[in-house]
Each structure stands twice: as C-alpha cells, then as structure tokens.
A and B are shown apart, each in its own frame.
Chain A
Amino acid sequence: MLRTLTGLLMLLAALVPWPARADAAAARFVTVPGGHFVSSLLDGTRTVTVRVAPFAMMEKPVTEAQFAAFLRAHPEWQRGRIAPLFAGPNYLAGWLTPTDPGDAQAARRPVTAVSWFTARAYCDSLHAELPSWYQWEYAAAASSSSRDARAGMIRRNAILAALMRATGQRPGLIGQRPANVYGLRDLNRLIWEWVSDYGAMFPDVNGDVGSAGSGSVLRLCGGAALAFRDPSDYALAERVAALSMLAPADSSPFVGFRCVRNLGDAP
C-alpha cells in the first residue's frame, strides 16, 4: 500500500512541471530614473524633448532559457500551436523542439526569432510590457559612464561596427560588456529589440503612419531619413528601419526583446 502510494506520488511529481531553473526564472528588473531627453526621432520636422517617467527595465534581453520556460507554462504560444495571426513560419524556426532551443548556452543567449505578439505575451506573463521607443531609446543612450553618450562618435561607430559584424550571425552571448550607468546590459550591440510602439515610429510625408511592415522600405528610402534628428547616427537609423520593416507577426533571427514595468510618476 505504502509502496503504491509512493509510486503514485512519484508519478504525480513527474507530471508536475519542475520549477524553472534559476537561470530561467530570474528576470531581474533595474530601476531607470526618469528624466528629460531629446529623442533622435523627430515629430514631423520638430525636435522633441521627451519627459520619461521612472520605470523598471529587465537588466538583460530575455534569454532562450527564459523564453523556453514561458513556452512550457503557456503552450498556446508554442511553435506549431500558435495562431498564424501571431507568428509566421520563422517563429523560433531554429529551435530543436517547440520548447527546446537546443543550445547549451540557452541561459546566456538572447532569444530571437520571436514575433512582436509573442514578445508582448511574454512580458504580460511577468505583469510587465514591452518598452516604448522613448523608454528604450532613453535607456540605450547611456554608456557605462554617462546617461547620454549618444554624441560620442567613437562609441557610435563602435556600435555600428558591432551590429555590422553581427549581421547574419547567431546572436552572441549576454554579459560580455560592462553594464551602463543604470545597470542595464546589451542594449546596443547584441541584437535589435522589439518596442511596443515600433509600428508608429516612421511617419510618412503626411505625418501618418502606414501599417507596420507594409511599404516601410519605401519610407526608409524616401522621406524617412528626415525623421532623424541626427542623420549621421546610422546605427540608430538602421535599428528603427529594421524594426519598421517587420510586421508584428514576423520573426527575425536578429530581433529579440526585454520587458519594462512602469513605476508611475512618483519619484
């Protein structure tokens, strides 16, 4: 009797998913203090100063291991089960199975090839959301020694060079470079990251925005270069352009994400 019950308990234990490994569970958020900054994106032809409220942002991009844990808990977002509205055929296409990236470095590699919808759903599962462009841009403007290092040409060129080297390669590992002044890592050089309002970043000549992923290339080649305050910041322009060319159900092997939590306007 006792043995049978023990057996039953073992059976049940095997059926209950183990708690995610420590590396997969820990999504550490760091506080980014609010402030004013001048966005690189123009509003029409005007330069805009944005007031960013304090928020908390994930220290690192979401890893393959973290995303795998999410998929085990939310099977409706798994490759093969997900509604085609939310992810196309490239969604996690390189993974060994729907829940296994097949990567020994999964705990250190940023997840990519995820659609905007799935990134959003992941953040929602943490009671968080995708950052807005302004939040992301504000956080990424910081270097390890300055809150706004954007004007530095050496850093700017290094970012561009890193992105160009990384193009077509599997994303590198997280944490190989120092954190910025807020304690955030790998915002600029490792991958591109989804933002919540990415579809509305590229106004056309009329100031309207088209549907994301449709005709954005034309906007990029035409008037869109005018949408940047500093057209010589190619790395940033390339980032915005790359995102704008994607439809929200698209997945790119170079686009991952991280999440934020709004802290409200309280200081």
Chain B
Amino acid sequence: MKKFVQLLCAALLGTGLIAAAQAAEPAPLPATSIYRIPPLTLVDQDGHSFSFASLVGTPRLLGMFYASCQMACPVEIETIKQIEHAVAKAGATPISVVLVSFDPTHDDVAVLRKAAVQHGVSAPEFLLTRAMTGDIGMLGGVLGISWRPLPGGGFQHNVVVALLDREGRIIATDPANGRIDPAFVAAIVREERATR
C-alpha cells in the first residue's frame, strides 16, 4: 500500500515535472535573448503566420513601423535597404529583415502587402508583419521603441532597427534615419560571416 502511495505521488509530482521539462525544449535561450518575450504570433505581407520565437537561428534586422506613416517609416525602410546594399557591397549576404507594425488595427495583410509593393520589398528576405496574438508592447520595450497614438491620427514614435544575433541578442542598433552608419554595416557583415 505504501508503495502504491509512493508510486501515486511520483506519478502526480515527478512525471509532471519531467513533462514540463520536456515541453521547455529546445536548448534554453541566452538570458538577454529577445525571443524570451511572452509568445507573439505574427502574420506577414503574404498572409503567412508564424511565432515570433521561430525567428531564432539566424541573424536578423528587427524593427517596428506602421504602414500609414508618412515620414519616419518610409525613411526607415529605405535606410534598411541601403544598409543591406552596403552589406552586399562589402561581400556579405544581406540578412533578413522583420518589421512589426505597432498599428495592428489598420495594418492588415492587404495593407502590409500594399506597403511591401510600394517599397519594393518581398518575403522571405524582407517581412512586413503585424501581431495576431500577444503583446507587441513587450517587443517595443526590449527594442527601445515607444509609440503613442496622436489625437489627430498617426503616432508619436521613435525608430530603432536592431541587429540580432542568431540567438536573439541585440548586437547593435541603428536609428535608420537616412544616414548609413559604417559601424552598423560592419557589425552586420561580421555577424553574417560568423554564422555561415
């Protein structure tokens, strides 16, 4: 009987712990990995949905934007394109870009697709996305991006584009304001070569 109780206890407690540990696979992320934010599901301009954490495994440029933005976001996208051009000129392969909208109410897949066409960017190299579930505020917080809807429409916001290593650590950031920072380009080239 005692043994039965022990087994029952083990069944109730021990296996529960083992199951929890297995569910937590694969290998733990570094403490400062951006992929540690609470779960976020994104959908891109082609309507493909994926979890934010699934972006782990390759270096990326990550930023935020909103499609109806007149000034800062077009500059952001064009700056990223020029940065990637500079990366290619330096002999490295341009790394993939993911921008997440902070205006999910308006930026549905059709709006994202239109913005992608207007800027001449396409998946999978350059994803314009919006969140379907999860808290984009957490993402903005770790990237240092803040936004506030203005009463007259649009947002007060800043621009940060982060270079993530393959595990999601922020290696470098850039304000993507039209100026190409050679140090940021060099960081991308270094990261891309290191992960080949």
Contacts and interface: CB of A to CB of B under 8 A. Distances in A.
Interface in A80-120: 83-86, 116-117, 120
B118 interface: no
Interface stretch (A18-26, A42-50, A158-166, A229-237): A42-50
A83 B155 CA distance: 29
B96 interface: no
A29 to B, nearest CB: 19
A124 B1 CA distance: 45
A211 interface: yes
A209 B151 contact: no
Contacts of B138: 117, 120
A224 to B, nearest CB: 13
B9 A210 contact: no
Contact of A85 (B1, B32, B149, B152): B32
Contacts of A196: 137
A129 to B, nearest CB: 8
A8 B1 CA distance: 12
Given A4-B2, A196-B137, A200-B158, A211 B151 contact: no
B158 A48 contact: no
B34 interface: yes
Given A4-B5, A84-B31, A116-B141, A200 B156 contact: yes
B146 A211 contact: yes
Contact of A207 (B9, B34, B146, B156): B156
A14 interface: no
Interface in A1-52: 1, 4, 7-8, 11-12, 15, 39, 43, 48-51
Interface residues of B, number: 36
B163 to A, nearest CB: 15
A131 interface: no
A12 B72 contact: no
10 contacts: A48-B151, A48-B152, A50-B151, A51-B151, A84-B31, A85-B142, A116-B141, A133-B148, A208-B158, A211-B145
Interface of B: 1-2, 5, 8-9, 12-13, 31-34, 36-38, 72, 135, 137-138, 140-142, 144-152, 155-160
Interface of A: 1, 4, 7-8, 11-12, 15, 39, 43, 48-51, 83-86, 116-117, 120-121, 124, 132-133, 196-201, 203, 207-212, 214, 247-249
